[in-house]
Amino acid sequence: MSNVHGPTVRLLARRDPAARVPGQHARATVLRLRMRTLVTLGVLAILTTVFGRSFGLHSPLFIGSELALLIAMFAVSRYVLPLMDRRDRGAAGEERVGGLLDELDEHAWRVIHDASFDHGNVDHIVIGPAGVFSVETKSHPGPVRVRNVHGATLRQAQGQRETLERVTGEPVEAMIVYSRAWVDKPLTRRRGVRVLPARMLIGYLKRRRDALTSEQVEQVHERVRTALIEAHTQPDRLLGWPPPSRSRP
């Protein structure tokens, strides 16, 4: 599937929520964290310098600001940097999987990345001859044992499926795709969610039997696009996300 890069794709993403790039939300989150961290440390450093010059190195104000700066630096190294690292790896995983999906035939498949429905985010929505798929990307390095996939992760994928089924009116297959991990039982379903490594994703989609005509693919894509636009233009409109969690065999 062809790609559009640079300022053009960023402009499209602002105007059309169905034209976002893989990992866009995660990358934006990392950028915000970095900026807030730099601003916080910068402000504390400036205050410490000002208090030291104005009131002396033995002033309670200087000592207090110095302690605050040290505490902030500890918090950044202990909590913020690991969080940014996880988010950065998550964005890289979404970009890798998104790159694979963008190689699908653009005349037969439609792929929407980083789809935001109110309080929820779907990494990738795939619509094509084989049907409709929600893809939740995980960047865990592995190895991954399907029976040990966390319940919260499964509920997240189930919630995405249920929301897309309401939006599209079509059955949706929920998938958890590990961008770089070894999976012990690839393509196994757990609680109705299929688990697989990224290297098997495209082959699996192409091997599926046809379920939608080309006209239906376009209709479903337009329904999803319309729902995304409405969610962005009407932030208080609820699409039922997250839906009540329930397990499927």
Domain ranges of the chain: 7-96, 108-233
Kindly give the parts of the chain with pLDDT less than 70: 1-15, 118-119, 234-249
In DSSP notation, 194-216 reads: EEEEGGGHHHHHHHSPP-S-HHH
Per-residue pLDDT, 168? 94
Per-residue pLDDT, 83? 78
Count Cα neighbours of 188 within 13 Å in the Cβ-side half-sphere: 12
Alpha carbon of residue 81 to chain centroid: 19
pLDDT digits (tens, 9 = 90+) for 50-85: 888 888 888 888 888 889 888 988 888 888 887 777
What sign results for the dihedral spanned by CA atoms 119, 22, 167, 227?
positive
In CATH terms, the fold of domain 108-233 is: Trna Endonuclease; Chain: A, domain 1 (3.40.1350)
